[in-house]
Every structure is written in C-alpha cells, then in structure tokens.
C-alpha cells in the first residue's frame, strides 16, 4: 500500500476501514458502534456545549472508549498506536504526565481527598486528549471520519439556531438556569462556553464553503456570525480569539507553510519566555487606562503577580493548581480587585507555576509534535486548521486554565476532526505482522 508521506517523513499508512486485514462485512454491532461515535463525538458535542457545557469533560473518556472499541473490532492492535506519531510526542506527553503526578503529590493534603483526586486526574486529561487526536488520525479519510464531521457541522448549525432564537424562546435558559431565568433579565452571558465552542467549531465548515461557493474568503462568515451573537453576551474570549484567527486564516491562504512554521515557532517562544515576558506586558498595558475594552488590565496584573510567584520555584514549580492553593499572591490590586487568584488566566504561565521549566519543556515537546503532524496536512486544509489553532492559543493565553477539562476535550476533538478529514497525514511503518507494507516517499 502506498503511504502518504511528506517532507522527509518515511513510513506507511494505517490501512483504511475497507482494507484492514481480517475485517468481515460490518454487522449490526459495528454499525451500532459507528453510529454511537458519530452521534456522541459529532452531533451532540455542540448541543452539549449549549445545554450543559461542563459535560464536555466527560465526552472525551467515554468517546475514546467507543473509539478504541471501533479500532479493536477492525483489527488494529494496541501496538499500532505507537507507530502513528513521532516518538517525541510520546516522550513529551509521558514527561508531562509524570511531572503532573509529581506536582499533585507536592500539594497532597489528607484532609482534602476530593481536591487530591482532581489534582491527580488533571494530567490524565492531557493524556486522553492526546490519544483522542491519535484515533482520528488513524481513521482520517475514512467514511467514519466524514460522517463524524458531517454530524458535528449539523449539530453546530442546530446549536447556533437555538442560541440565536434564545431571546424569543428561552429553551436553553430553562435547561441551564431555570431559577435565574425567572428572576434576572435574559443575557447570553450564561452561554459563554457555548459561544466559545461554536466559534471554534464553525471553522470546520471552511472546506465545504470553499467548494460550494468557490471563494475561500467566505469561510470566515460562520465564525463572524458567532461573533455577532457574542455582542449580546459577555465573552471577551471570542473576540480575543477571532481577531488572530481571521488574520492567520487570510495569511495562510497565501503562505500556508510560512504561517505554520512561524506560528508554531512564535507559540513555543511565547511558552518558554512567559515568566519574563508577561511582567513587561503589564508595564506596557498600564498605559491603556480607561481604554481597556476587553478586561486586559486585570488579566495583565494577574500575569505579573504569577510571574513573580514563578520566580520563587522556577525549575519544578509549586505543585498542582498552585496559584489557588498558595493565594493570596503578591499583587498590587491596581486593576484586579481581589487577592485570591483561582488560576492565572494563562495556560502557559500556569504550567510554569505548577511544574516549572521542566513542565514548560515537556509542553514545548508536545507543541513540536503537533507541528510535525500538521506539516503533512495539505495546503487546501491548512488555513482553517491554523485558524482554529490560533483561536485556541489566544484562549489559552488570555482566559483558560491549563486544567480546564471541558476546553481541552473540545480542543482535542475539533483538532482531530480537522486533521482526520484531510486524509494527508504521514505515518511511520507499523512493522506488525499482516500490517501494511512500507510505502515509498512521495
């Protein structure tokens, strides 16, 4: 079988669903499993973000259980997983998980069993997200991947329609805040997670829009439609994410490889320089004064305080969720009215605070592995995938916690869908008996 290999990578394809060795005609069980995967990991994702946003953190482990069952029933062995991605991915994720467990041990408190459990489970979310991407890479280009993506897009359209009509129907509010809905005026602020999820998911329509209307620039219409809905809410993150995402999308239409390389280099440098860079950003941000439209000043002040906190344990950090556990931190309270910092509103600073330089290097390795995978995505698919990554990075460095399980799960699934639908991922040779033969480099 000819492999799809690019940019010096050597290896062979994982066989498609139709050609896996020993596969029989799909029966009722196979169709049921595939149908559950399409519904659970496709159609329901945007709807759950609308009605119960925090439930997305449970979708990832349950969805992966269905996914592994699908692969195992079609003759893909456990050892095949370890040939799909570069070794640096496994080393970096393994190091990140180990450092996460050590960080959880450092803050272990026998009087807080629930908090201890949360601290130990948090690194596993990253592990599950990583394997979620692997699954969808393995089924890329297959009929199942196409059905999942189609279900996801239909679910996004339905969720958008429900949210757009929410001021007139009140359907979602009755599900989420039935008491608050009766005592407070309507506000889409209740749906900040939903707006964030829809803004992310809406980029997946880009290939269809380009084919249907013959103009790639029209792919920004769905994300901008979500942005217009956001004006009735209070999610600054949607705006902070869409501005770089739209810019990256149009740049990538012209120079996709340049944007890919420059973007990931910038992201890794931002991660590694975070403790030094963010105090400088705060000093510059003080000049904004009354022009602070997006709550940037209070974020910048938190970042400055966390950077000072990091300097006291720069190598291995202070332990899991340290900014909350060791609050109050040293903060001037010029713009941020509290001394209790639940999280740094910046995932890069949080990995430094919790796991230090060691954790930052492990995360840099994970980003490097992601760059290796995206380097083999076709130029026609790369712009909207890079736009999604830009949106995600902007959300990670301005708002979200490193351990926000619902956000990590959503990010992993959306990224995987985009990559799986491209059908251009390179793989290493499996070297397993009965597996695919090594292919020639393109």
Tens-place pLDDT, residues 167-181: 777 676 666 555 444
65-74, 103-112, 122-131, 200-209: range with lowest mean pLDDT:
122-131
Positive or negative CA dihedral for 123, 87, 80, 149? positive
Judge whether 192 and 399 are in contact, CB under 8 Å: no
Residue 63 to residue 128: CA distance in whole angstroms? 10
Q: Identify the band that residue 234 occupies on the pLDDT scale cut at 50, 70 and 90.
A: low
Q: Between 432 and 230, whose confidence is greater?
A: 230
CA 429/CA 442 separation, integer angstroms: 15
Whether 144 has a pLDDT exceeding 60, the answer reads yes
Looking at the predicted structure, is the pLDDT value of residue 38 above 70?
Answer: yes
Best-predicted range by mean pLDDT among 44-48, 141-145, 336-340, 360-364?
Answer: 360-364
Is 283 exposed, middle or buried (CB count within 10 Å of its CB: 0-12, 13-18, 19+)?
Answer: exposed
Q: Identify which of 71, 79, 76, 82 has the alpha carbon closest to the alpha carbon of residue 21.
A: 76
Query: Measuring CA to CA, which residue among 45, 83, 81 is closest to residue 63?
Result: 45
Residue 215: DSSP 8-state: -
Q: In this model, does residue 230 exceed pLDDT 80?
A: no
* Cα(195)–Cα(233) distance, integer angstroms: 9
* Domain regions of the chain by residue span: 28-73+85-273+346-422
Angle between helices 113-138 and 347-374 (to 10 degrees): 20
Contact between residue 300 and residue 281 where contact means Cβ atoms under 8 Å apart: yes
Largest CA distance in the chain: 67
In the prediction, which pLDDT does 315 show?
Answer: 93
pTM: 0.77
Residue 363: count of CB within 10 angstroms of its CB: 25
Euclidean distance between CA atoms 137 and 426, whole angstroms: 9
Measured distance CA(210)–CA(225) in Å, rounded: 17
Structure tokens given for 309 = 């906190």
* pLDDT reported for residue 162: 85
């Amino acid at each position: 079988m000819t492999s799809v290999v690019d940019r010096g990578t050597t290896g062979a394809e994982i066989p498609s669903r139709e050609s896996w060795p020993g596969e029989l005609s799909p029966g009722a069980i196979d169709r049921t499993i595939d149908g559950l995967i399409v519904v659970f990991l496709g159609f329901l994702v945007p709807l759950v973000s609308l009605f119960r946003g925090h439930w997305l953190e449970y979708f990832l482990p349950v969805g992966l259980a269905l996914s592994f069952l699908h692969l195992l029933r079609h003759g893909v062995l456990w050892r095949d997983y370890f040939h799909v991605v570069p070794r640096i991915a496994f080393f970096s994720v393994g190091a990140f998980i180990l450092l996460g467990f050590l960080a959880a041990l450092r803050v272990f408190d026998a009087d807080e069993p629930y908090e201890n459990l949360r601290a130990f489970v948090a690194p596993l979310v990253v592990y599950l997200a990583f394997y979620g991407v692997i699954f969808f890479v393995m089924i890329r280009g297959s009929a199942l991947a196409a059905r999942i993506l189609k279900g996801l897009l239909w679910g996004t359209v339905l969720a958008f329609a429900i949210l757009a009509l929410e001021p007139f129907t009140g359907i979602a509010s009755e599900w989420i805040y039935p008491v608050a809905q009766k005592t407070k005026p309507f506000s889409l602020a209740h749906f900040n997670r939903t707006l964030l999820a829809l803004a992310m998911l809406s980029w997946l329509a880009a290939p269809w829009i380009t084919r249907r209307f013959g103009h790639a620039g029209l792919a920004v219409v769905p994300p901008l439609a979500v942005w217009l809905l956001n004006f009735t809410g209070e999610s600054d993150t949607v705006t902070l994410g869409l501005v770089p995402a739209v810019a990256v999308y149009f740049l990538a239409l012209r120079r996709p490889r340049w944007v890919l390389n420059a973007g990931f280099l910038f992201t890794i440098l931002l991660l590694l320089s975070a403790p030094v860079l963010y105090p400088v950003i705060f000093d510059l941000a003080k000049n904004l004064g009354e022009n602070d439209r997006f709550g940037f000043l209070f974020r910048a002040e938190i970042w400055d305080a966390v950077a000072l906190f990091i300097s006291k344990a720069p190598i291995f950090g202070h332990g899991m969720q340290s900014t909350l556990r060791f609050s109050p931190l040293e903060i001037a309270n010029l713009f941020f009215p509290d001394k209790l910092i639940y999280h740094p509103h910046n995932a890069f600073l949080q990995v430094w605070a919790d796991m230090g330089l060691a954790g930052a290097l492990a995360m840099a390795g994970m980003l490097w592995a992601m760059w290796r995978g995206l380097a083999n995505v076709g130029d026609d698919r790369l712009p909207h995938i890079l736009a999604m990554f830009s949106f995600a990075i902007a959300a990670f460095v301005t708002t979200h916690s490193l351990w926000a399980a619902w956000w990590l799960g959503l990010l992993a699934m959306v990224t995987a869908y985009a990559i799986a639908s491209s059908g251009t991922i390179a793989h290493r040779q499996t070297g397993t008996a009965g597996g695919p033969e090594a292919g020639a480099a393109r």
